Chains A and B, each alone.
Chain A
Amino acid sequence: MIGLSSYLVLAALVFSIGLFGVLTRRNAVGILLGIELMLNAVNINLVAFARFHGDLTGLIFTLFTIAITVVEVAVGLAIVIAIFRVWRTVDADRLDLLRG
């Protein structure tokens, strides 16, 4: 029986995989891909809850999340491009200007 828990577990799995990607990728764009997966998982969660509790709010929330995610990706990639122009690299290991 595919209940709410199945979807939630699925979302949790995708979230963890996305987190793994964020933690291990060296390329900045790769990290952003991981973030995408995490946000996706969140969306699945929201829609599942909305469906199983009969509440519209979750769906609205999902729409907004998608829109905001798009904006975030755009700006993030713009930053990556700007960094690339100056540093000629997008290796996350080399971007450590905030080092203490």
Chain B
Amino acid sequence: MTVETVGFWLVAAVLLGSSLAVVLTPNLFHAVLYLAAALVATGAVFLLLDQPFLFAVQLLLYAGGVVTIVVFAIMLTERLVGERIRQTSRHLINGAIVAAAVFAGIAGFLLQAPPAGPRPEQTGDVTASIGRALVGPFAVTFELLGVLLVAGLIGALYFARSEE
């Protein structure tokens, strides 16, 4: 029982548990909070995979940004007083069956794959390599991402503006 193993199982448990909670809890606010937990757990998974930079990015953007946005959206679309957020889900069985089937399909492929070897040695500074890659081979993609962000910004602003 290595540290790695224990750590993995712990993080996995948290991740799975909070994911289930996200989709099952009737209260939408709680769901968002559980999502935050799941996102942090994902970051932990990244750490387990020796990617501290990605862990940081995950926490910053996802757990920080996305959760904030969603909270604001919930506030703007639900009446806080009176009609409490009724979050009944429907057709649980159908959804469960389909989701389970999809999982079974993916797992089937995974089981048929040849078992991979141990993880190789990680040489060098990954973060620096990422940085160099972003302005090197992936420069164009990076720039396009910037364009996408601008477009998304403008789009979101347009949609959310008040009608006057």
Contact = CB atoms under 8 A, between A and B. Distances in A.
Contact of A60 (B5, B99, B134): B134
Contacts of B120: 52, 54
B57 A63 contact: yes
Main SS at interface, chain B: helix
A71 interface: yes
A66 B59 CA distance: 11
Contact of B102 (A19, A56, A64, A70): A19
A60 B145 contact: no
A2 B12 CA distance: 12
A18 B19 contact: yes
Interface in A44-81: 44, 47-48, 51-52, 54, 56, 59-60, 62-64, 66-75, 77-81
Contacts of B156: 74-75, 77-78
A95 interface: no
A69 B62 CA distance: 9
Main SS at interface, chain A: helix
B145 A64 contact: yes
Interface string B130-158: 10011000100100010011011101111
Contact of A85 (B107, B149, B153, B163): B163
Contacts of B84: none
11 contacts: A20-B96, A29-B70, A33-B70, A59-B51, A66-B58, A70-B61, A70-B69, A71-B153, A72-B152, A78-B159, A81-B160
Given A2-B5, A43-B42, 19 more contacts: A10-B15, A10-B16, A12-B110, A17-B99, A21-B23, A23-B91, A23-B95, A30-B31, A33-B70, A36-B66, A47-B46, A48-B49, A51-B50, A56-B126, A60-B138, A74-B69, A78-B160, A80-B73, A90-B77
